[in-house]
């Protein structure tokens, strides 16, 4: 007896093979809209702008008090 199995192909009819790929689902990952670094940089920029505005306001108030009055 031989241990080989012979392959048999049909000569009539339709031959098809069902291939069911397995899909692996994982939990969705939530990504931040802005990166932490970008948020830090924006905060630094906003703080710098606020400081400049504050300094400008102080200069205006000091500048007005040093002007001579024309009464």
10-residue block means of pLDDT along the chain (71 residues)?
Answer: 75 74 83 86 96 91 64 53
With the C-alpha atoms ordered 7, 8, 14, 20, is the resulting torsion angle positive or negative?
negative
- Tell me the residue range of the domain where 40 lies: 34-64
Domain contains 29: no
Confidence (pLDDT) at 54 = 93
Domain contains 12: no
Confidence (pLDDT) at 47 = 96
Confidence (pLDDT) at 66 = 58
Confidence (pLDDT) at 36 = 87
Residues 6+ apart with CB under 8 A from 42: 34
Confidence (pLDDT) at 52 = 94
Confidence (pLDDT) at 55 = 92
Domain contains 51: yes
Domain contains 59: yes
Provide DSSP, the chain: ----------SSS-------PPP---PPPP--SS-HHHHHHHHHHHHHHHHHHHHHHHHHHHHHHHSPP--
Domain contains 57: yes
Domain contains 47: yes
């Amino acid at each position: 007896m031989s241990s080989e199995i012979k392959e048999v192909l049909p000569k009539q009819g339709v031959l098809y093979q069902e291939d069911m790929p397995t899909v692996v689902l994982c939990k969705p990952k939530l990504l931040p809209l802005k990166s932490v670094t970008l948020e830090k940089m924006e905060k630094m920029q906003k703080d710098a702008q606020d400081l400049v505005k504050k300094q400008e306001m102080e200069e205006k108030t000091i500048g007005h008090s040093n002007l001579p009055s024309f009464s």
